[in-house]
């Protein structure tokens, strides 16, 4: 079985580990799809981030049986072409849970403890203790999503004695959540959300899901954080919500347009914090991803159930 990786900068120790563990498999590690495309035709398994795939490349990969996507987001995958070929797709769902949960708590603490203002005061050598410091303790975090990332974020929120409210398609009770609403109860779920965290994937159901009336339902002091997908809410709606005081602050790690242009209004809005889609980045990303890949290789060879198999109709 021939395994082609088109991930850039795969550490040599990970390559050696797989080569030694599976000597009967032929691994080829290429630095990106540009270098690896000429080997697609002979690959049985492709390891990719998914964004470098299109219909033509799927057509070229005549022997391809399994695509291992080293990402949780699947919205740029050519699913129709993949479905037609009956190719198995798995991903690393859950790998982002720890770094993204820490990001969410960190950004909310930054807001509550006025870290941006304190940093500015320090640069200006200004001694001022009269800032509006808040606590996470006793407040409610409402999470749009109850999957691995949301669950880990909720778990950390409980360490700060926060109430945790989840929103999912089913409304099914989940560990670390005090209460879970169905997606059709979204407005009700948002009414008590002091800190609202969006970690929903990009699907037909979630694109444009949040509208102005949803921000109107939130408390005026609410802080909204989106680290799922930018398509969840339009930029215009976000700007209106902040500028009209419907919420106190928005923290955006994902946006409709990425990279965000230098002249974009989001950069200039005082009550909006922008980060460049980094909430899931960690030095432990690839090692964790290859641990999942390792378990799935073994399951694939032994014809056993694999982890994180993607529903090709739903796209996740």
* Best CA proximity match to 292, nearest among 303, 307, 305: 307
Q: What is the pLDDT of residue 278?
A: 97
- DSSP 8-state class, residue 29: E
Q: Dump the DSSP string for 167-235.
A: EESS----TT-SEEEEGGGHHHHHTT-SEEEE-----TTTTT---HHHHHHS-TT-EEEE-S-GGGS-H
Which candidate, 245, 144, 153, places its Cα nearest to that of 200? 144
Q: Residue 153: pLDDT above 90?
A: yes
Confidence (pLDDT) at 161? 98
Cis link prior to 259 (omega < 30° from 0)? yes
Residue 229: the pLDDT is 93
Q: At what angle do helices 97-112 and 115-123 cross, to 10 degrees?
A: 60
Query: For residue 118, what pLDDT is reported?
Result: 98
pLDDT in tens, 168-222: 999 999 999 999 999 999 999 999 999 999 999 888 889 999 999 999 999 999 9
Write down the pLDDT at residue 316: 76
Q: Per-residue pLDDT tens for 99-147?
A: 999 999 999 999 999 999 999 999 999 999 999 999 999 999 999 999 9
> For position 254, what pLDDT does the model report?
97
DSSP character at residue 252: E
User: What pLDDT, in 10s, does the model give residues 253-310?
Assistant: 999 999 999 999 999 999 999 999 999 999 999 999 999 999 999 999 999 999 999 9
């Amino acid at each position: 079985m021939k395994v082609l990786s088109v991930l850039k900068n795969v550490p040599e120790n990970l390559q050696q580990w797989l080569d030694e563990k599976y000597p009967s498999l032929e691994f080829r590690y290429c630095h990106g799809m540009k270098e690896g495309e000429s080997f697609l035709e002979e690959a049985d398994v492709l390891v990719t981030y998914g964004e470098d795939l299109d219909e033509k490349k799927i057509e070229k990969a005549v022997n391809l049986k399994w695509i291992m996507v080293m990402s949780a987001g699947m919205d740029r995958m050519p699913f129709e072409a993949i479905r037609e070929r009956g190719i198995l797709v798995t991903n690393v769902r859950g790998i982002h849970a720890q770094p993204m949960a820490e990001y969410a708590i960190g950004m909310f603490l930054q807001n509550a403890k006025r870290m941006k203002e304190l940093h500015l005061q320090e640069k200006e050598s200004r001694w001022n203790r009269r800032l509006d410091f808040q606590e996470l303790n006793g407040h409610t975090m409402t999470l749009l999503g109850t999957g691995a990332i949301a669950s880990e974020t909720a778990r950390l929120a409980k360490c700060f004695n926060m109430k945790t409210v989840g929103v999912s398609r089913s409304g099914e009770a989940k560990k670390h959540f005090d209460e879970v609403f169905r997606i059709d109860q979204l407005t009700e779920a948002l009414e008590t959300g002091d800190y609202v965290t969006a970690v929903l994937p990009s699907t037909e159901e979630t694109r444009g899901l949040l509208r102005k009336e949803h921000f109107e339902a939130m408390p005026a002091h609410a802080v909204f954080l989106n680290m799922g997908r930018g398509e969840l809410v339009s930029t215009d709606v976000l700007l209106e919500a902040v500028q009209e005081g419907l919420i106190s602050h928005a923290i955006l790690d994902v946006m409709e347009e990425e990279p965000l242009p230098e002249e974009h209004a989001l950069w200039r809005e005082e009550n909006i914090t922008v980060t460049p889609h980094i909430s899931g980045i960690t030095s432990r990303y690839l090692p964790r991803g290859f641990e999942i890949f390792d378990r799935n290789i073994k399951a694939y060879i032994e014809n056993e159930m694999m982890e994180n198999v993607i529903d090709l109709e739903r796209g996740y």
